[in-house]
Amino acid sequence: MSWKLSTTHLVKQIAAEISTATRYYDRLVQWLPHASDRGEFLEAIDCPRKERVDGEAALPDLSKDREERAAVLLYANFNYDFDIQKILMEIKPKLSRTSRVLAVCYNPYLRGLFALAHRLGLREAELPTTFVTRSALMGIAKLSGFEVVRERSAAHFPFALLGLGTLLDRLLSALPLLRNFAMVEIVFLRPILPGPRRPSLSIVIPARNERGNIAPALERLPDFDSDRVEVVFVEGHSSDGTWEEIERVIATSPRFDCLALRQSGEGKADAVRLGFEHATGEVLTILDADLTMPPELLPRFYDAYCRGDADLINGSRLVYPMEGEAMRSLNLLGNLFFAKTLSWILGTRLTDVLCGTKLLSREDYDRFRRWREDFGDFDPFGDFELLFPAAVLGLGVVDVPIRYRDRTFGSTQIRRFRHGLDLLRMTAVGLARIRTARL
> For residue 373, which of 359, 389, 354, 351 has the smallest C-alpha distance?
389
pLDDT 10s digits, 317-366: 888 887 766 666 777 788 788 888 888 888 888 888 888 899 999 999 99
Q: SS3 of 26, please?
A: coil
State pTM to two decimals: 0.87
Cβ neighbours, 10 Å, residue 135: 8
Q: Is the dihedral of CA 267, 269, 271, 273 positive or negative?
A: negative
CB 236 within 8 A of CB 201: no
Cβ neighbourhood burial of 314 (10 Å; 0-12, 13-18, 19+): buried
Per-residue model confidence as pLDDT tens for the chain (439 residues): 444 445 677 888 899 999 999 999 999 999 999 888 888 999 999 999 999 998 778 899 999 877 899 999 999 999 999 999 999 999 999 999 999 999 999 988 888 887 887 777 766 677 888 999 999 999 999 999 999 999 988 877 766 666 676 777 776 666 666 667 788 999 999 999 987 789 999 999 999 999 999 999 999 999 998 989 999 999 999 999 999 999 999 998 778 899 999 999 998 999 999 999 999 999 999 999 999 999 999 999 999 999 999 999 999 988 888 776 666 677 778 878 888 888 888 888 888 888 889 999 999 999 999 999 888 877 777 888 999 999 999 999 999 999 888 767 655 655 555 666 877 887 887 777 776 656 5
**Strand arrangement, sheet containing 50-53:** 50-53, 27-31, 70-75, 100-106, 184-191, 146-154
Contacts of 238 (CB under 8 A, 6+ apart): 207, 208, 209, 210, 211
Half-sphere exposure of residue 216, counting CA atoms within 13 Å on the CB side? 17
DSSP letters for 56-107: TPPPP--SS-TT--EEEEEESGGGG-S-HHHHHHHHGGG--TT-EEEEEEE-
Angstrom CA distances, 251 to 209, 248, 258, stand at: 20, 5, 9
Q: HSE (CB half, 13 Å, CA atoms) of 14? A: 29
Q: What's the Cα-to-Cα distance from 370 to each of 253, 279, 325, 373, 385, rounded to whole Å?
A: 36, 18, 38, 5, 11
Q: Which of 146, 123, 103, 101 lies closest to 14 in space, CA to CA?
A: 103
Domains of the chain: 7-191 (3.40.50.150), 201-435 (3.90.550.10)
- For residue 382, what are the CA distances in angstroms to 241, 275, 358, 377, 388? 25, 12, 10, 10, 10
